[in-house]
Amino acid sequence: MRFLSLPDELLIEILSRLPAQAIASSLSSCRALHAQSAAVWQAACSRRWPQWAAIAAEPGAQWRRQYELLSLREAEAGCLPSVAAIRKVQKSVTERHRSILTEWLCEVSFDWDLDSTVVFKAVAYLDHYLSTHAVEQLSRFQLLGLACLRAAMGDARKPAALDEHAKKMDPANFAYISDDTYTADEVEAQTQVIVGLVPEHLKRSPNTKMFLRSFWYRATLKEVVHADEMHIYTLASFFVQLALLDTACSGYAPSLLAAAALSVSLEAYGKQPWPVVLQQFGSYLPAELEPVKRRLADLQATQAAEQLRPIWRGLHEQHSYPEYEAEWRRAILIFSCASRAHLAPPPSGCDGTAAQGSSAVPSSGSAGTDSPAAPAPQDTATPMLVD
């Protein structure tokens, strides 16, 4: 009772210094403190992340949500592989080999109709392994990729589809797609190595596609975009998957990559690249995204992705949004070949395709493929609206 008799300013100051769980417990267990909830979370945010006060203080800020988002960003850093370590540890496996393997894993995920987040989890497991264990024989590298995918599928399984999932998880299926280069027993053994190696915090950590879904949900909720403007979300999804092929991108926080990819896509279609409502939700300033956006633009200009691009193009050539025909044609152009040409935002009053001087979609024989300098890579549950 003496504690509750303290001045409000002192109560807020004391509570804001507690760990998050203790703050939440105190505020929920005492009706007298509940009125101070927003002020306590605001003080906690300002104390722990003073540089974010200006963003979170915008109208409509939800301070507890802001605290949770900033805490999640801190946790991401502990899940990132060391790009420098990968480059130092691996002697037989080059970055080109990794790019080929990750592109193939993306193909498998499409062929097997897996949830699109699974391949991101699999590549995170792969990079964790590569940063700590040398692959002595290049001939075993594909086996490692298969094991990472299988482990990721196991961690992402949903109870409602256990029977179907069990069939896909059969190690014989993985041996088969390797053209029987490996046996089912080898797949099972390597999977167990990965399962034992990957730390629990990495298994639970949200990946880039999860963050992108969450940012898109926020963008539609706050009317940054209309829900039917799926060309914007789809282009951002392409960019984050293209980034899987790039070793350097594995050193960037998943939330940062997702935010940058959505920003590139918004800008490409003449939208405000990173409005305040997304700054609040994502806790990134526009300036922080710019180096990552340049990296993604460079990948679009240089990454042939000769297997991945045709998949994306084939999936989205026949869409169900006739009111956005020009915008979808432009997305298909970006999917179809490695080029920077169609990323520039359209001139005011022009649609994206007209701005490029052509509305034709390249023939299927076009160079490239279909279906996404960043800050130095670090060494160190969101709504699911769309796929």
Report the amino acid identity of residue 281. Answer: F
Q: Mean pLDDT over residues 359-383, rounded?
A: 38
Tell me the three-class secondary structure of the chain, residue by residue: CCCCCCCHHHHHHHHHCCCHHHHHHHHHHCHHHHCCHHHHHHHHHHHHCHHHHHHHCCCCCCHHHHHHHHHHHHHHHCCCCCHHHHHHHCCCCCHHHHHHHHHHHHHHHHHCCCCCCHHHHHHHHHHHHHCCCCCCCHHHHHHHHHHHHHHHHHHCCCHHHHHHHHHHHCHHHHHHHCCCCCCHHHHHHHHHHHHHHCCHHHHHCCCHHHHHHHHHHHHHHCCCCCCCCHHHHHHHHHHHHHHCCCHHHHHCCHHHHHHHHHHHHHHHCCCCCCCHHHHHHHCCCHHHHHHHHHHHHHHHHHCCCCCHHHHHHHHHCCCCCHHHHHHHHHHHHHHHCCCCCCCCCCCCCCCHHHHCCCCCCCCCCCCCCCCCCCCCCCCCCCCCCCC
- Sequence-distant (6+) residues with CB within 8 A of 20 are 44, 67, 68, 71
177 close to 145: Cβ distance less than 8 angstroms: no
- The Cβ of residue 115 has, within 10 Å, a number of other Cβ atoms equal to 17
Q: What percent of the chain stands above pLDDT 70?
A: 83
Answer positive or negative: Cα dihedral of 363, 368, 117, 280. negative
Confidence band for 371, pLDDT divided at 50, 70 and 90:
very low
Q: Which of 196, 192, 209 shows the shortest CA–CA distance to 119?
A: 209
Long-range contacts of range 153-159, CB-CB < 8 Å, 24 or more positions apart? 153/114, 153/118, 153/122, 154/191, 154/195, 155/121, 155/203, 156/115, 156/117, 156/118, 156/121
- Per-residue pLDDT reduced to its tens digit, 69-82: 888 888 888 899 99
Q: Which residue has the tokens 């939330």?
A: 255
- Per-residue pLDDT reduced to its tens digit, 299-343: 999 999 999 999 999 999 888 888 999 999 999 999 999 998 888
Q: Which of 193, 201, 354, 358 shows the shortest CA–CA distance to 270?
A: 354
Task: Please state at what angle helix 37-48 crosses helix 20-29, rounded to 10 degrees.
Answer: 170
pLDDT score, position 372: 33
Instruction: Measure Cα distances from 335 to 21, 69, 179, 185, 186 in Å.
Output: 45, 32, 29, 38, 36
Question: In angstroms, how far is the first alpha carbon of the chain from the final one?
Answer: 51
CA atoms of 203 and 79, how far apart (whole Å): 9
Residue 228 confidence (pLDDT) above 80: yes
82 close to 251: Cβ distance less than 8 angstroms: yes
- The Cβ of residue 20 has, within 10 Å, a number of other Cβ atoms equal to 14
- Per-residue pLDDT reduced to its tens digit, 147-198: 999 999 988 665 555 556 667 889 999 999 999 999 999 999 999 999 999 9
Q: Which of 145, 125, 117, 122 shows the shortest CA–CA distance to 79?
A: 125
CA atoms of 125 and 233, how far apart (whole Å): 25
Q: Which domains does the chain have, with CATH numbers?
A: 8-76 (no CATH), 83-204 (1.10.472.10), 206-387 (1.10.472)
pLDDT score, position 157: 63
Answer positive or negative: Cα dihedral of 92, 377, 345, 278. positive
Select the more confidently predicted residue: 362 or 85.
85
pLDDT score, position 378: 44
Select the more confidently predicted residue: 370 or 233.
233
